[in-house]
Structure 1
């Protein structure tokens, strides 16, 4: 027995007429009648009673019709699911975000994924430093990492999403915030300030970028605290512990008591990249990557 036997039987049963069923199936009537007879012979059951005017279901045929419809519907659903999986519209994907991307890219991507891929199960994990994301990509708990290059790892594919300038975060009572007419901060004017920084020891690309920028401006930053979470870092600044330099996208994190100011002149930049396991070919991951790249290339509303 083949699926076509079920489809032919269902068509005849619903039309109660071989001629109309043949037209519906776009086949000739004699082959259709022969296929239904083959099905009955295979089952050893008479499914239809035939007359010159009408075809009617037997009691066994009526019961078999319900099962045949259910089987065909299940087969059609399976085919549809397979197509949607191959198209990346069904599946599961876990995405990690470095601290600064947590407050701008994460919510924007979440909205787009909910609208564009409603049947994809998405896990979003914010505030993960680059080394932590690399480890999770390796152990499989992340499929996509939005992190800060460089990442020297032959097992991962890393691509640039964009470059972001650094901006200053100051307590809102700081003289450089309160002074009239000052819209941008000269980095050299922060010499002698206490700095709240991301972790040192090559655990944070932004930490290294801040250190290099301050040295290029002629001073060594004096760290008062090292913080892994961006929200905590900005909160420490708001509390008056010191100042900080953060990627521009952190400005989307609003904390009472903290003020953001651009840096005067050509501000130092940090890269934002996306990483996957090398050779990643899951359709749902590829589709999410396409959406992520498109969002990262545009400015938030």
Structure 2
């Protein structure tokens, strides 16, 4: 028994006529009749009652027709699903998001991706450091990273999406909190709440380089891994923090975000592995479009 025989049988059973079934299948009638006879012989069951005037299903044929339709439907569905997987329309994608982008980008990005690709199972890991993202891309535990270059990313693909300035987060009670803009050098004597220095944080390195460019090295730091914790510490009056502007989306009572004069910008990029699945590549391309187009694309 093969699928061709099942398709032949379904056509004959539905038409109750060999001639019409042959026309439907675009074949001659004699080989169709022979194929149905061989099917019955293989099964050892008579499926059709044939007379000179009509063709009718036997009780065994009626049940076999139901099963044949189910089998052919499942086969057709499997073929469609395979084609959709190959096209990147079905699958599972794990996205790791760097800390400061968690609050500005993750909510609208997650919403749009789930709306547009309902058959892709998304998992999001937030508040990641770029070094951890690189490691987890390498071992395959995440498929895509929204990350902060530059960092050693040999063996990975990287596409820069946008650039944003650094800002300073101050406690609202801070003497400088009423200013419109600050120079980083004015904060040289402050305690800074920063990302970890020992975990290859891109933002820590950028912050340190900015301080040195303004003629000082921070002498007092409190190091934490999560952007949310950094802002909480600032609200508690533990120190000040230099963060990407997108961190201001994490609104917390007691914190004031101010622009900094003459400080470097940081980039946001999407990273992924070469040879990624079609599903991953489809999401990378859509992420690129959404983030590059900005707020209008994410809010529409």
Return the TM-score normalized by structure 2: 0.90
Q: Which residue of 1 aligns with 2:165?
A: 165
Deviations 1:86-141 (A, max 9, x none): 11121112111111121122222211221121121221101111222222223321
Cα distance in 1 between the residues matched to 2:51 and 2:197:
88
Moved over 6 A (4+): none
Alignment of 1:239-250 (within 5 A): 239-250=236-247
CA RMSD of aligned residues (A): 2.0
Q: Which residue of 1 aligns with 2:132?
A: 132
Question: How many residue pairs are counted as aligned between the two chains?
Answer: 296
Query: Would the alpha carbon gap of residues 184 and 28 (structure 1) be closer, same or farther in structure 2, given more than 3 Å must change?
Result: farther
SS at match of 1:271: strand
Query: Would the alpha carbon gap of residues 261 and 53 (structure 1) be closer, same or farther in structure 2, given more than 3 Å must change?
Result: farther
Cα distance in 2 between the residues matched to 1:86 and 1:26:
30
Task: Give the deviation of 1:28 after TM superposition.
Answer: 4.2
Cα distance in 2 between the residues matched to 1:294 and 1:43:
56
Q: Which residue of 1 aligns with 2:5?
A: 5
Cα distance in 2 between the residues matched to 1:171 and 1:33:
87
Cα distance in 1 between the residues matched to 2:36 and 2:254:
79
Q: Which residue of 2 aligns with 1:185?
A: 182
Cα distance in 2 between the residues matched to 1:186 and 1:196:
17
Q: Which residue of 2 aligns with 1:207?
A: 204
Deviations 1:117-174 (A, max 9, x none): 1121221101111222222223321122222222324332333222221111111222
Cα distance in 1 between the residues matched to 2:276 and 2:72:
31
Task: Give the deviation of 1:30 after TM superposition.
Answer: 4.0
Deviations 1:61-86 (A, max 9, x none): 11211221121011011101101111
Q: Which residue of 2 aligns with 1:33?
A: 33
Deviations 1:221-246 (A, max 9, x none): 34331111000001111111111110
SS at match of 1:103: helix
